[in-house]
Structure 1
């Protein structure tokens, strides 16, 4: 195995075990999580008018704040995650629209959702292109991906320190665009930005960070907006 490949290795099995136990993640109503998710949804609306999205699917939803805050703009929203433990912590678990499913085998028909999105989920997968193809399959119109930016100092340091996040090192803007291309999607825009980490950033810093421009080249996250090919 090439040296670089060995360095990048975690495994799907280790990822499943990692997410089967609580890692101290903040809940959806924590003020930092609320700030982070609200700011991100506002940014999404710069590129996509969510009033025209009739339904959506949140892939790899984790403990659910990515579903909870998007639901304020898209009322008909579903969520999936392969970790039943994380789904048990989802704030919308009583709504009956959660699916325990792997991202590479989503239990939905072709072209079911206007929008299919994943917030920081692909870097936990050995073969992310399979998941993006599956997201494209169940989408009617759009696929939206967000992943940690390996050129950001904080994200780089964490990826080097924690083997279970080593795959973050792949997720340059170029790589995310290539994933969309390989899944048969048309890339509409890529972007970089964000100053807040929902599970790490101290509450006391929100006022300062909220005054900073959201988009900047060394931001915490890389984004890819894509559409189904005509």
Structure 2
């Protein structure tokens, strides 16, 4: 992986449609048992802030900081979301995940959801996460594994999309099989094996509403998000091919017995 990575998805509406659906319950349940009301928490790559605001509600006597890359207008959406929910113990800032703008031992909990797969140096990011966590604190991270997807039925073209996605993500300097590598990256970051707790979480889309939503956002993402421009730039797809893949997603979404599952690697680190 190149240390200069490009975020494969970007912040197109079709991407934020997915990110805004995420909650602490459906995307960070593995971390919730460790949280206490008075804790401070850093949420790296907070996006539109839905998980972040959930954390702030849980940490009602503490404080939550959401961090996004500089020059990202998604933080305005995050601030608006928090304000609409009446969440006041929350701050949103810009910063680099590979060089966090905080002193050592600042937070009780440091969290990242679907971020390590998109950075050029996930080991360095884990080192930074550990650096800003207080002794006795917790690091939690959850990453998809884009090779560990399952769907039904086997619509022609879905496998081609998966293989193409892996190529685009790697061409952008990321690692789309991050979920299976979390424990390896953590050990490379100097974290002892005995301080790691590894688990697996899933998303499953089955109901007609789920299928329509999931297939629709991926169809739109395929042709309109940063994925599309990256795919064309790296010579992996043409615009015409992307349009065909978008139709593949819509075809799958219309299947009465359609089912889609995504596996995530989950890692808890005790600092």
TM-score for the superposition, normalised by structure 1: 0.71
Change (3 A) 1:10 1:102: closer
* Mapping 1:129-148, distance limit 5 Å: 129-140=123-134, 141-148=137-144
In the alignment, the residues of structure 1 paired with residue 77 and residue 13 of structure 2 have an alpha-carbon distance, to the nearest angstrom, of 10
Q: Aligned to 2:7, which of 12, 15, 32?
A: 15
* Match 1:85 to one of 73, 89, 107: 73
**Cα distance, 1:88 vs structure 2:** 2.0
Q: Which residue of 2 aligns with 1:209?
A: none
Equivalent residues of 2:179, 2:264 under 8 A apart: no
For 1:69 and 1:23, locate their aligned partners in 2 and report how far apart those are by CA, in whole Å.
22
Deviation per CA, 1:46-99: give whole Å up to 9, x if none: xx4312661100011112122022222123110101052221221237956111
Distance 1:154 1:89, change over 3 A: farther
Q: How many residues align?
A: 199
Summarize the alignment of residues 148-187 of structure 1 with structure 2, pairs less than 5 Å apart.
148-154=144-150, 160-162=163-165, 163-166=167-170, 167-173=174-180, 175-186=181-192, 187=195
Q: Where does structure 1 lack aligned partners over 5 or more consecutive residues? A: 206-217
Q: Compared with structure 1, are the counterparts of its residues 25 and 192 closer, same or farther at alpha carbon in structure 2 (3 Å cutoff)?
A: same
CA distance in 2, matches of 1:116, 1:107: 13
Tell me, yes or no, if the aligned pair for 1:145 and 1:223 is still in contact at 8 Å: yes
Alpha-carbon distance change, 165 to 63 in structure 1, aligned in 2, over 3 angstroms = farther
Relative to the length of structure 2, the TM-score reads 0.61
Residue 231 of structure 2: aligned partner: none
Higher relative contact order (CA 8 A, sep 6+): 2
For residue 159 of structure 1, report the CA deviation from its aligned partner: 5.3
Q: Distance in 2 between matches of 1:92 and 1:194?
A: 26
Of stretches 158-167 and 51-60 in structure 1, the one that deviates more from structure 2 is 158-167
State the superposition RMSD in angstroms.
3.4
> 1:220, CA displacement in angstroms?
1.8
